[in-house]
Amino acid sequence: MPKLTKRIVDALQHDPERDVFVWDTEVRGFGVRVKPSGTKTFLIQYRNAERRTRRFVIGQFGVLTVELARDLAKKKLASVVDGGDPSAERRAAREGMTVAEVCDWYLEEAEAGRLLGRNRRPIKASSVAGDRSRIEQHIKPLIGTRVVSRLRLADIERLQADIAAGKTARSHRPGRGGQTSGGAGVAARAISTLRSLLNHARRLGLIEQSPANGVRIIASEKLKRRLSAGEIRHLGKIMMQIEHEGEHPTGLAAIRAMLLTGFRRMEVLGMRREWIEPEGNCVAFPDTKSGPQLRAVGDAAIAHLLSQGQRSPSPFVFPADWGEGHFIGVVRVLDRVCLRAGLNNVTPHTLRHTFASIAASLGFSELTISGLLGHAPRGVTQRYVHLDTALVIAADQVAAEIARLLEGGEVATVREMKLLRSKTLARVPV
């Protein structure tokens, strides 16, 4: 048996039929377990005061280094010499842990980057912030004092129903973001957060089992609001009017950018100049909800992005009015624009839906639209040799159509859309 090192643990292969154990030669009782799924976990094996063999999970490889896991193993094994039983102590602790305590553990671990989420990368700070909000506003007030081991599936589904019914709804302060609401969507997100954190706690041995296993998350009504071509024209007209009247130019420019690109709000606001690649008609995001991405953008969008903040030393395309950060007030500007325009229920995500809607009206496929929005399924680039070119052409046509509408152009007829679409297809190399 070797001394465990990162190279050795990296090279360990899983057995699809059983767990594989490899023990360290330096610290007796310290080892790594490779599950049939391929997950590698550090653990110790020892005999308690009753001479019964016990195993105690220290943590997951990748979250813990071999050296840190070995140090933790030494401490736990030292407690065994003093008569301790780490496995029994953990079992006793987890049987009495409340929901609030497990939630606090999850937030601490996630904020420190010790929990892996999507794509086996540390959970994003923005995701943790959303989880914290749902925990503090919905989960803790209703079941925070309950002991996790005594919860049942029915309790979780009752929690979901209570949140949907508005039991945790309250007003904090006037204005956007000042209210805690109920509804199916809020309840679904809260239960998703709870299920996720309980699964993390179970996987790492903090609790015996998750009471949320098998929960049926309520179907939330999808946001379907999008601007019609006529509404885009009207919005463009109002934006030009209120810009002359002194409305925030950066906020208006950010709204236009969201419409022309279909990007998410924070993708636009957090965009840096160095990410824009005019020659390739794309923006190179180092990190998004789906990881690093090259996102196709049209000529109209590129020109608009390059024209922003040219006198500012800020690295951001949409810089803040003061300080070194980026602009953050686009929601308030959008609210004022839509109030003036008489448009209801318009959010930054509505602009993203609008981009997709215009792309669909021009005849582009769902696959292409998914690629433009940045959530194309894996394997797309392997299936379509000319996908990159097709995406750039599609982004260019969609941005051009939206720019034309914003500037007051007439709504294209079905015949004009078909003609535009045929010209687009003719430009795709075969």
DSSP strand pairing (40-47 vs 53-60): antiparallel
88 three-state secondary structure: helix
Would you give the DSSP letter of residue 66?
H
Domain boundary (145, 168, 203) is at 203
State pTM to two decimals.
0.62
State whether 368 and 332 are in the same domain: yes
Q: Are residues 48 and 118 in the same domain?
A: no
Q: SS3 of 142, please? A: helix
Q: Does a structural domain hold residue 222?
A: no
What angle, 0 to 180 degrees and rounded to 10, lies between the N-to-C axes of helices 366-373 and 348-361?
150
Q: If DSSP codes are grouped into helix, strand and coil, which group holds residue 328?
A: coil
DSSP SS3 for 168: coil
Asked if 310 and 273 count as a contact pair (C-beta separation under 8 A), the reply is: no
Name the helix (H) or strand (E) containing 107. Answer: helix 99-111
pLDDT in tens, the chain (430 residues): 679 999 999 999 999 999 999 999 999 999 999 999 999 999 999 999 888 999 999 999 988 999 999 999 999 999 999 899 999 888 776 678 899 999 999 999 999 988 888 777 888 888 899 999 999 999 999 999 999 988 999 999 999 999 999 999 875 544 444 555 678 889 999 999 999 999 999 988 888 889 999 999 988 655 578 999 999 999 999 999 999 999 999 999 999 999 999 999 999 999 999 999 999 999 999 887 777 888 999 999 999 999 997 777 899 999 998 888 999 999 999 999 999 999 999 999 999 999 999 999 999 999 899 999 987 554 443 333 334 788 999 999 999 999 999 998 765 544 454 455 455 445 544 4
Q: Which domain holds residue 381?
A: 229-427
- In this structure, the answer to whether residues 164 and 280 fall within a common structural domain is no
CATH number of domain containing 74: 3.30.160.390
Q: Are residues 72 and 118 in the same domain?
A: no
Q: What's the total number of domains in the chain?
A: 3
